[in-house]
């Protein structure tokens, strides 16, 4: 196969991963209507809800892949759906029949997200005991649903989010802070809807599938505290950089002067159910099946990779080289798969994202090893503030760079992986994929 053929093979495996984690497919698989005598049951996982008990059914939510879920829900419930609203990233919307769609900014929130979150909270607050609120969540919902509390301005929350994202903090740490600056996250959406029944369907973009972390857990109990949020800010040396109002709120909250997020065991959660319908492992299994069909021996290393992006790339390179050199832990032709969400600390002024930086670090670690072709990409189709989903690391990557007079290390130091790959035609561009279950790395070894 030529290099172009290998790139096409990597693309096909990636597309299979995306299809396996399709929100619309996952919703249809995990949510069904089942008539039972005079009852019309809505079966969600191990839960059954009698729709005849409810006057109204609302649908609310957010995320980069929420529209395909909403479309599937409209198709399932038809006239029984009273309406609702979801917020998605700019460029990720699609027309729906009963559910209003708003577009907003991600990863740094904007006014559209603020307005959308406010409308969602109002829908929840008007729901009564005989109503059902279905919450649809996919990755990106936390940034897309900003609703600051305690007099906090949106621009203060925007600055706080940007500082945390660029600090190298994990998504769990970032959302610990977000939850304590919000009127909708950390269980507050479920609290607003109480005593209505709340059913939350989730496409997870969080390692470990923590319900309180995915989208900052708007309908899940929150085990974290204001004090925990302060510790996160202190850990990354952001206390002096954060807006004064942010620090004031967190300090007051840690002293018990502000209302904490709803905690595990509180009665309101007896009427709130959270179900994960798709995650990174589902995507990796889909990729593995496609790789096998293409003649490769697949190996899933993990769906829970975290930590430093460059270190994760070095680890992946070592596995690929071991497969190539010894046939351990899988013999070539092999397809090695890994998923999760690494942490990229930005110190330079370049352009890129986790996956592009992973691919550049991987290419440097592989040192043009023959017979090893790899791709790292975000399953949502976007990587950082770019239109690329990720980038390829191929045997000729460093050679092409040298021929163009490019120094890979300088681009890595500047966090400018996007510019590097753009100049050697190494970017992987898909557009919005319709799902979001973190990142995947694919390596094929001959």
Q: Which pLDDT value is given to residue 258?
A: 95
Residues of the chain with confidence (pLDDT) below 50: none
Q: Which pLDDT value is given to residue 2?
A: 65
Residue 380's alpha-carbon distances to 23, 138, 387, 434, in angstroms, are 11, 10, 11, 7
Q: Same fold for the domain at 3-12+281-445 and the one at 30-278?
A: no
Q: Which residues contact 391 (CB under 8 A, 6 or more apart)?
A: 355, 356, 359, 360, 375, 376, 377, 417, 421, 426, 427, 428
Q: What fold, for 30-278?
A: Rossmann fold (3.40.50)
C-beta neighbour count of 238 within 10 angstroms: 19
What is the SS3 assignment for the chain?
Answer: CCHHHHHHHHHHHHHHHHHHCCHHHHHHHHEEEEEECCEEEEEECCEEEEHHHCCEEEEEEECCCHHHHHHHHHHHHHHHCCEEEEEEECCCCCCCCCEEEEEECCCCCCHHHHHHHHHHHHHHHHCCCCEEEEEEECCCHHHHCCCECCCCCHHHHHHHHHHHHHHCCCHHHHHHHHHCCECCCCCHHHHHHCCCEEEEEEECCCCCCCCCCHHHCCCCCCCCCHHHHHHHHHHCCCCCCCCHHHHHHHHHHHCCCCCCCCCCCCHHHHHEEEEEEECHHHHHHHHHHHHHHCCCEEEEEEEEECCEHHHHHHHHHHHHHHHHHHCCCCCCCEEEEEEECCECCCCCCCCCCHHHHHHHHHHHHHCCCCCEEEEEEECCCCCCCCCCCEEEECCCHHHHHHHCCCCHHHHHHCCCHHHHHHHCCCEECCCCCCCCCCEEEEEEEC
Q: Which pLDDT value is given to residue 38?
A: 79
For the chain, the straight-line distance linking the first and the last C-alpha, in angstroms and rounded, comes to: 10
Domain coordinates of the chain in residue numbers?
3-12+281-445, 30-278
Q: What fold, for 3-12+281-445?
A: glycerate kinase, domain 1 (3.40.1480)
Instruction: Indicate the burial class of 199 (C-beta count within 10 angstroms; 0-12, 13-18, 19 or more).
Output: buried
Q: Which pLDDT value is given to residue 46?
A: 84
Q: Which pLDDT value is given to residue 171?
A: 86
Q: Which pLDDT value is given to residue 288?
A: 98
Q: Which pLDDT value is given to residue 223?
A: 97
CA dihedral (16, 17, 23, 29) positive or negative: positive
Find tokens 């021929």 and name the residue: 403
Strands 99-104 and 390-393, by their bridges, are: unpaired
pLDDT digits 0-9 by tens, 203-243: 999 998 999 999 999 999 999 999 999 999 999 999 999 99
Is the overall model pTM greater than 0.85, yes or no? Answer: yes
Cβ–Cβ under 8 Å, residues 436 and 65: yes
The overall longest dimension of the chain from CA atoms, in Å, is: 74
Q: For residue 77, is the peptide bond before it cis, meaning its omega torsion is within 30 degrees of 0?
A: no
pLDDT digits 0-9 by tens, 78-90: 999 999 999 999 9
Q: Which pLDDT value is given to residue 170?
A: 86
Closest of 414, 415, 442 to residue 428, by C-alpha? 442
Q: Which pLDDT value is given to residue 1?
A: 57
Cβ–Cβ under 8 Å, residues 66 and 87: yes
């Amino acid at each position: 196969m030529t290099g172009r053929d290998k790139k096409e093979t990597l693309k096909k495996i990636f597309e299979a991963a995306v299809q396996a984690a399709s929100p619309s497919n996952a919703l249809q698989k995990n949510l069904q209507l089942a008539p039972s005598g005079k009852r019309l049951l809505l079966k969600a996982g191990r839960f059954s809800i009698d729709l005849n008990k409810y006057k109204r059914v609302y649908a609310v939510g957010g995320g980069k892949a929420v529209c395909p879920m909403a479309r599937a829900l409209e198709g399932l419930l038809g006239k029984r759906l009273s309406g609702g609203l979801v917020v998605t990233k700019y460029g990720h919307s699609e027309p729906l029949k009963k559910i209003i769609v708003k577009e907003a900014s991600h990863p740094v929130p904007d006014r559209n997200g603020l307005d959308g979150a406010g409308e969602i909270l109002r829908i929840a607050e008007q729901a009564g005991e005989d109503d059902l609120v279905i919450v649809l969540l996919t990755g990106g919902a936390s940034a897309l649903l900003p609703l600051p509390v305690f007099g906090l301005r949106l621009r203060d929350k925007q600055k706080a989010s940007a500082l945390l994202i660029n600090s190298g903090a994990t998504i769990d740490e970032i959302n610990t802070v977000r939850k304590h600056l919000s009127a909708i996250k950390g269980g507050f959406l479920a609290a607003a809807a109480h005593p209505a029944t709340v059913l939350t369907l989730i496409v997870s973009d969080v390692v470990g599938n923590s319900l309180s972390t995915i989208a900052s857990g708007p309908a899940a109990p929150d085990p974290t505290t204001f004090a925990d949020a302060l510790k996160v800010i202190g850990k990354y040396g952001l206390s002096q950089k954060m807006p004064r109002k942010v620090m004031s709120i967190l300090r007051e909250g840690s002293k018990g002067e502000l209302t904490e997020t709803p905690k595990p065991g509180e009665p309101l959660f007896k009427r709130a159910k959270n179900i994960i319908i798709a995650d990174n492992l589902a995507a990796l299994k889909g990729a593995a099946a496609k790789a096998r069909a293409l003649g490769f021996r697949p190996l899933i290393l993990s769906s829970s990779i975290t930590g430093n992006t460059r270190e994760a790339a070095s680890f992946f390179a070592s596995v690929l080289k071991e497969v190539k050199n010894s046939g351990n832990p899988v013999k070539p032709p092999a397809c090695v798969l890994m998923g999760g969400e690494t942490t990229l600390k930005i110190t330079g002024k370049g352009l890129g994202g986790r996956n592009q930086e992973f691919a550049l670090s991987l290419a440097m670690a592989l040192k043009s090893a023959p017979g090893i072709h790899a791709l790292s990409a975000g399953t949502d189709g976007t990587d950082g503030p770019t239109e690329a989903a990720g980038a390829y690391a191929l045997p000729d990557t460093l050679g092409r760079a040298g021929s163009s007079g490019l120094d890979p290390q300088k681009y890595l130091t500047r966090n400018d992986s996007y510019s590097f790959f753009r100049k050697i035609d190494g970017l992987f561009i898909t557009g919005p994929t319709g799902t979001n279950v973190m990142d995947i790395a694919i390596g094929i070894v001959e």
